[in-house]
Structures are given as structure tokens and as C-alpha cells.
Amino acid sequence: MDTTRLIQKSEFEWWLEATPPMRVPGILYASEALLREMDDKVLEQMANVASLPGIVQAVYAMPDAHWGYGFPIGGVAAFREDDGVVSAGGVGFDISCGVRTLHTGLTVEDLAPLKEDLAQGLFRHVPAGVGSIGKIHLEPAEMDAMLQGGAEWAVKRGYGRREDLERIEEHGRMEGARPELVSEQAKRRQADEMGTLGSGNHYLEVQQVTEVFDAAVAEAFGVAVGDVLVSIHSGSRGLGHQVATDYGRRMIEAAHKYGLELADLELACAPIQSEEGQAYLGAMRAAINCALANRQILTHLAREAFAYLLPRADLRLIYDVSHNTAKLETHLVNGQPQRLYVHRKGATRALGPGHPDLPDAFKAVGQPVLIGGTMGTASYILVGTPESEARSFSSSCHGAGRAMSRHQALKQWRGKELVRELGRQGIIVRSPSPRGVAEEAPGAYKDVTAVVDAAHAAGLSRKVARLEPLICIKG
Amino acid sequence: MTTQLGRWEHFYHQADVGVRGIGPTLDAAFEQVALALTAVVTDPALVRPTQAVVIECEASRVSLLLVNWLNRLIYEMATRRMLFSRFEVHVSPPDLGGALSLYARAWGETVDPERHQPAVEVKGATYSELEVTQNPEGLWVVQCVVDV
């Protein structure tokens, strides 16, 4: 990225001035090194988003931002409830894709003798990869119940525990879902995909805590060095993808109908108060519930695999966060509370201490922010800060973010060799596709530690613990 | 076969994949871009064209028709758990209502993880970098980014 177009406000804060037709500035939180790696298209996309009606304060880019479609990935933008817009491209294709992390109650010593067996057990038990199907087939009425109930539906059907729900955003169930506004095609895409991991950067990882940066917060989250955790990265599967496709198309027509000028068709949006805007929100919330239900079923499958080999394990959910959402939230704008639709595309909500939406266990410290790794590199747990409210509508980064295209990665690595190399480092990788592993090579991603350090230094969230992979099941 | 006419390629996108089809006719370019779509998932040469699926869609503009065509293919790939390697596309000029329509047949087979080694599923075709043009040699070039 050409940083000469930016004004540097501090070491980790850079401004793109609001020049017409932009209504607000663009603010990037990153080190200079990360900015230099970012595509120039990120700036172009931020300027486009900043030009949309009803946007408030600024459009933000997180340290892991990269070129998306319409909105940058790692982008955050909030719109006024009365005259703002909602954009399907501002949420993305994998609605509510996110991460949940569980504590196993085990230490690395407990796991060591059974590590290989557990890797095989998880790989056999958790459907992953292109074309894989789950054991659950949803008939239409049950599909609608799932879309209305989210993780709460899953728990009622026996996939998980009641107490899991406290540790999920929205308590596991997004209000305002409208299953009847989700197309038949979307439902058909999901009929056999419940409890499947997906492919690409989705994974189930067994990890060890290798470092604690903030002992008090780590204690509140229940993690200590040497503990074994499980992280699951997955989303709303085919249903969410199809909702994005259906409403992206519909919003192009809506934008034309309401006279919204689009610099890019992927910016297609509709006024929040329009029929199309409300319909998208209802369908998107149903897709959020689909993602929450899916991660809940995946959790159940992980628990079954552990129980078979390590009956002493007790997989307790630490927290579940979503990355691709548009949520109605109250934030201070110029000192006044305002109801805003906050789009987070490839960004995590990072509520600071005392926020009423936090579970009681985290009220004093803030929300866990779960940052996914890349199969061979670290993951992190961070915590929301009081400052992130003013900095970015309480948002932080979501992962490493790709630095290299799939094509480049495929030229540079061979899947089987990579699995062997990671094995030498003590990381067992199981995947149905060596090509998929090569495309997802850790080297194809940005340095997650640099991303997390930038989020920490910029005050978006603070580092709590570092996790290293032991077993990775890739889609 | 018209599917033998023209060529396909992928173009750079940092996180996702750009798919491009090039052919002497619009129909051929649409066939080629479909092969580029398959190539995101697996090597098209590994996919046996044993089963045919009919796909129809329409749109008000040719660029939107391209996105609809790819999205219909993605839908068929997802719900039938199939991969496709041979295509026959016919794009009809606008009807009285002003809509362009597409009729196509796609041949392929059910995904076989062992043989196809599918790398990644495609979530949807986007409007990003969407272009339908004729190059100076008169060849049709059609492209967009697909989300993976």
C-alpha cells in the first residue's frame, strides 16, 4: 500500500482523509510494516464504503485487513438506524463465520500418549472438506426451527450443554431471524451440511497454551500455560453462502430503486428501513443462527471424539465469536448514544469491561477475542478494552489474513511435504486434500503475531494468551 | 465441441480467486469460465463427464448473467456434490421483457475425495472485477472473483 496517501496519527493509527464523495474518514490500525503489505485496493474500498449514506464516525480497517469485494475484509462500518444502509457485501459470503475455543480440562502431558489416536479420531468423526455431509438431515420444519433457534436449538436436540449458551454471543440465539425469508435453494444447500466443518481456512485445532500475557484475565477465562484447548473455525456453510448470493443480487436492484450510487456492484445495499433491507436482516440473522448451530454440533462431535479416547476430558466452552455480521448496537457518537448497524466483515466484536451483553464471568475483564492461526502458527486469545468502543465501535482483528494467493501458495508448497514438515514440528495435520493443505500453507498468511501485536498496541484489544497447534483437522 | 474453443485462466486476488474465460463467442467464453471455476476446486482433467445437468438462468445485463451462471453452477456443485468438466452454453438475446437468458448443459460426476483431491469449496461468485468485454482480437473475455 502507498502510505503517502495517509496521515499518520500515531504509531498504529493512520487516516485516509474524507474527501468527497467520502462522508467520513477511513482509519487504519496497523504497523507501518503491515500497511506496506496491504493491497492498495483496501484504501479504494474504504473510500467507497465511507461514501455510503448514513455512515457515522469513520470506516475502520483492522490490522489484518485485505482486499475483499465491496468492503475490505477486516473492515468495520456503522450506519444510523434511521437513514443508513445495510449491505450484504459488508457482511460477506460466510455469514457469522467465527471461532469458538473450548478448554479440555487436560494438560499437554495428559494428551501426549494419545495425540496420534486423537488426531485420527477427530478426523474420522468430524466431516471436513469439499462434498462432505453430516449425519443430520434437516426436513423443512426442523430447518426453520434451527434457523430460529441457533445453538439453543442444537442444545435442545442434544448437541451440547445448556451452560454452553452463556458463552456464545447473543446467548447462542440471534433474535429477529426470519427463516421464511431464506430461499428454498439456501435451505437445500444446508439440508445435509449441519455439523460439517467446510473447507479452505476452516479447521478444528487442538492447541496448547504456551504463554500468558495477562495473568488476571487469563484466570478469568480459565486458561493457564500447559492447558490443552480446542478451537473450531467454521461458519454458516451453504445456507449462509446462498443467503449472501440471493440478497447480493436483490440489493443491486434495491440500490437502483432507491437511487443509491454504487462505485462497485459488491457495495450493493438497501436502506435499513426499506423492505429489502429488513428482509436481508431477517435472512442474515437466520444465517447467523445456522452458524451458531453448526459450531455447536461440531463441538458435540469433538466432545464425542475426546470422550472415546480421553474420558477424563471435559470440554467447556470458553467463548464463541462471529466475524461476519451486521448487528444493531448502541454506541457513543460525539458523546451521544446512538443505535447503529455495525458491519464487521472479517472483524471480531471486542466488548470492553462492564458491557451489559457480556456473560457474568467476563463482566469485570471484557470479552474474549479469539484470533485464529494458520495450522502451523500460533493463535491468540485477547480481551476487549474500554478504548475499543471509541476506536472502532468495539471491534478487533480476526486472524492473520492472507498474504499470498492460493495459486502462489500452490506453486510454493506440496501438501504432503507440508504435512510431514509440520509433523516434525509436533503438529499433526489431517486433511482430505493435500492440495487444500498446500493452498492453506502457514507461509501464505501474514504473521499473526504482528497482527495481534498491532491490535494490542492500537488498543483494539489486549493480549491474554498465546496458543500453539498440536493437532489440526483441515477441511 | 464448443467447449474445446478458447481457454481459461485464474487471475490474482489476495484472498480469493479470479476466474476468466476467453473464447471466440460469448457462449464459448461462458463455457471456459465454468472450467476455470472447476479448476478452483480440482484439476478439470480429473473429472469424468458422465452425468448431465441442465441449467437455466436469466439476467437484465450480460455481466449479471455471468454471475448468475456461475452461482447456479456453484449451487449445483453444492447440492448434488458434483464437479463438472464439460459445458455447453447458449446465451439468447434479450426477449421482449429485456432479459437475456442462458440455457446450458454441464457434464460431470460426484465428488470423489480420493481421486479429485478437492482443495476448497466455492461459496459464491461475486461482482468484484466483473467484466464482459471483447479484446482487440475479437475474443470474448468474461471474468469475476469467486469467494472461497
Provide the β-strand partners of residue A60: A27, A76
Identity of the residue in A245, A266, A435 whose CB atom sits nearest the CB atom of B119: A435
More confident residue, B2 or B117: B117
| Strand duo A13-16 + A7-10: pairing | antiparallel
Residue A411 burial by Cβ neighbours in a 10 Å radius (0-12, 13-18, 19+): exposed
Complex ipTM value: 0.94
User: Going residue by residue through chain A (475 aa), what tens digit of pLDDT does each one get?
Assistant: 989 999 999 999 999 999 999 999 999 999 999 999 898 999 999 999 999 999 999 999 999 999 888 999 999 999 999 999 999 999 999 999 999 999 999 999 999 999 999 999 999 999 999 989 999 999 999 999 999 999 999 999 999 999 999 999 999 999 999 999 999 999 999 999 999 999 999 999 999 999 999 999 999 999 999 999 999 999 999 999 999 999 999 999 999 999 998 888 999 999 999 999 999 999 999 999 999 999 999 999 999 999 999 999 999 999 999 999 999 999 999 999 999 999 999 999 999 999 999 999 999 999 999 999 899 999 999 999 999 999 999 999 999 888 888 999 999 999 999 999 999 999 999 999 999 999 999 999 989 999 999 999 999 999 999 999 999 999 8
pLDDT at residue B4 in the model: 58
pLDDT at residue B2 in the model: 45
Provide the β-strand partners of residue A80: A340
Distance CA A129, CA A315 (A): 24
Distance CA A394, CA A267 (A): 23
Q: What does the block give as the cell for A437?
A: 493443505
Instruction: Give the pTM.
Output: 0.97
Distance CA A200, CA B119 (A): 7
Assess whether A300 carries a catalytic annotation.
Answer: no
Quick check: A274 and A254 in contact, CB under 8 A?
yes
Q: Which residue of B has its CA nearest to A186?
A: B75
Residues of A in contact with B71 (CB under 8 A): 245
Provide the β-strand partners of residue B99: none
| Mean pLDDT, residues B42-69 | 97
Is the previous residue joined to A21 through a cis bond, with omega within 30 degrees of 0? yes
Quick check: A378 and A210 in contact, CB under 8 A?
yes
Distance CA A126, CA A196 (A): 7
| Mean pLDDT, residues B95-115 | 93
Measured on CA atoms in the order A455, A459, A461, A467, is the torsion positive or negative? positive
**pLDDT above 60 (res B3):** no
pLDDT at residue A99 in the model: 98
Mean pLDDT of chain B: 94
A305: left (phi over 0), alpha (psi -120 to 50) or beta: alpha
> What distance, in Å, lies between the first and last C-alpha atoms of chain B?
30
Of the candidates A287, A323, A374, the one whose C-alpha atom is nearest the C-alpha of residue A98 is A323
Distance from CA of A403 to the nearest CA of B (A): 6
Identity of the residue in B15, B119, B127 whose CB atom sits nearest the CB atom of A402: B15
Residues of A in contact with B127 (CB under 8 A): 69-70, 248, 252, 264-266, 268
Residues of B in contact with A244 (CB under 8 A): 123-124
Q: Does A403 touch chain B (CB under 8 A)?
A: yes
A265/B127 CB distance under 8 A: yes
Q: Helices A237-257 and B62-80 meet at what angle, rounded to 10?
A: 160
pLDDT at residue B15 in the model: 80
For A19, other C-beta atoms within 10 Å of its C-beta total 9
Residues 6+ apart with CB under 8 A from B21: B6, B8, B28, B29, B30, B31, B32, B33, B34, B35, B36, B140, B141, B142, B143
Residues of A in contact with B41 (CB under 8 A): 130
More confident residue, A207 or B16: A207
Q: Does A450 touch chain B (CB under 8 A)?
A: no
Q: Which residue of A has its CA nearest to B76?
A: A189
Interface of A with B in 37-56 (CB under 8 A): 39
What residue type is A56 in one-letter code?
Answer: V
Identity of the residue in B81, B120, B126 whose CB atom sits nearest the CB atom of A200: B120
